[in-house]
Structure 1
């Protein structure tokens, strides 16, 4: 590993921190997830799916959007690992991923909006 020194010595933590900065790839994963949630529609869809499992048609009705538009947003959320699917016959059902990352984002969104989780009411 390459030896790094900081040009200015402001305290003891700077030099120590250099050894623990994660690789750029890990930050790229986080940026990718936040990019998906930078869209109001996707945040709303994700929030809905944190509280229930639904099909595209019902999500479309809840969002007052066309099914193709909702399907587009769901594809992006699924590709980022925030949404999971399950098929039953011809119907595909969507819900928020049970991963720790998705659940943490769910709670963060609610804290930032200062609302309570429906399951906690």
Structure 2
């Protein structure tokens, strides 16, 4: 990273920290993943798919949404790499991706529910 002259010197040696700072594109990738969790319906669908593999029709029934609405959320989750799908005949089944990102987000959701809803 190029040397940055800071307007104020607070006596901190930030060079080592900035030398290890991820690139702007890396933060963009993280931001895109977190955007997936900005919608409570998408969080519910993702959480469900962390626990089972299911088709759109059953996901719709489980979360109380229309199939087109669920399909919209699934498309976004799939584009972000958080879920995967497989076809079996005419049926398409979805589940959480087997990635570190999906696993971490699943655990974050579980912990946040535990912390904010302690009676669960």
Please confirm whether the aligned pair reaches a TM-score higher than 0.5, indicating the same fold: yes
Length, aligned pairs only: 115
Structure 2 portions without partners, runs of 5+: 116-120
Q: CA deviation at 1:62?
A: 0.3
Q: Secondary structure at the match of 2:22?
A: coil
TM normalised by structure 1 equals 0.89
Deviation for aligned residue 1:3: 1.9
Structure 2 equivalent of residue 34 of structure 1: 34
Cα RMSD between the aligned structures?
Answer: 1.4
Query: TM-score by structure 2 length?
Result: 0.89
Q: Distance in 2 between matches of 1:29 and 1:52?
A: 26
Q: What pairs with 1:76-91 in structure 2 (closer than 5 Å)?
A: 76-91=76-91
**Post-superposition CA distance 1:40-67 (Å, at most 9, x none):** 0000000000000000000000011111
- 5 Å-filtered alignment, 1:1-121, equals 1-114=1-114
> Unaligned regions of 5+ residues in structure 1, if any?
116-121
